[in-house]
Each structure stands twice: as structure tokens, then as C-alpha cells.
Amino acid sequence: MSSFVMTASEREEFLSGVHVGVLAVERAGRAPLAVPVWYDYTPGGEVLIWMERDTAKDRAIRAAGRLSLVAQDENPPYKYVTVEGPVVANDEPPTREQALRIAGRYWPADQATAYVDSALGEKSILVRVRPEKWLSNDQSKG
């Protein structure tokens, strides 16, 4: 029986690709918060998520201190990578370059610049997560 599990380099390459991530965070007395997010990841580095301070996402992340993020390919052959880890920073805003890199993964350059110019502000924070645990599945390996 063959394994659908990706190698470390395959899963890091997949996560570094352009996918809308789904963030999952524990919440006391409620179901986990699960919301789509834009993110950035370079193999061997941290997962970076740009968001606004004092949102439901921010409050849940601060309370839990850790999160999971899943990225998937919805087209056959199906693939996904889930990464889990501690939040190592969430108090500083992203630099303009970090914000442009994240937005630029999802928009053409001119639209990314316009988005950053309108959205980067005093409530912006950059959440940095250190990957500790991974799950993966690549149906093309079957």
C-alpha cells in the first residue's frame, strides 16, 4: 500500500505555494474559530499572517497562543498540508515589504500595492507562527 504523505520538502513547497489558508484556533467554551486567511511562507521559515488587532481572529490567537493553518488544492488530484505551531510574535505591524509580499501572492502587483496602501494601518499586526507539527496528503501519490 502506498503512502499519500508528502515528504518534508514536498509539504514545505506546497505550503509556500499560493493558497488561501484556513486558520483554526481553539476557543474556550465554543467551537474552534475557522476562517480563511492570506498568508506567506518560505520553506524552513515561519508562517506569516497579516491581520487587524482586536478582531475575533486576533483575540482567539492571543488566548490560545497557537494555531493550525491548512492549505489545500481543491482540484484532483487533491492535496493538503496542515501546519500547527506556537505563535512567536503578534504585537508588531508588518513592514510595507511584508504586507506587499502577502498581498502580492493574491493580487497582481498594482492591485497589491493599492490594497496595501488602503489596508496597512495602525491596527495592522503580523502574526508569526513557528511550524511544529505537520499533516499532509497528496492523492497523486496513490
In tens, the pLDDT along 51-87 reads 999 999 999 999 999 999 999 999 999 999 999 999 9
- Within-domain flag for 3: no
Angstrom distance (rounded) from CA 19 to CA 15: 8
Q: Structural domain tally of the chain?
A: 1
- Within-domain flag for 1: no
- Within-domain flag for 134: yes
pTM of the model: 0.94
The domain of 96 spans 8-141
CATH assignment of the domain containing 128: 2.30.110.10
- Within-domain flag for 2: no
| pLDDT tens digit sequence for 11-26 | 999 999 999 999 999 9
Give ∠ CA 67-72-75 in degrees, rounded to 5.
Answer: 165
- Within-domain flag for 84: yes
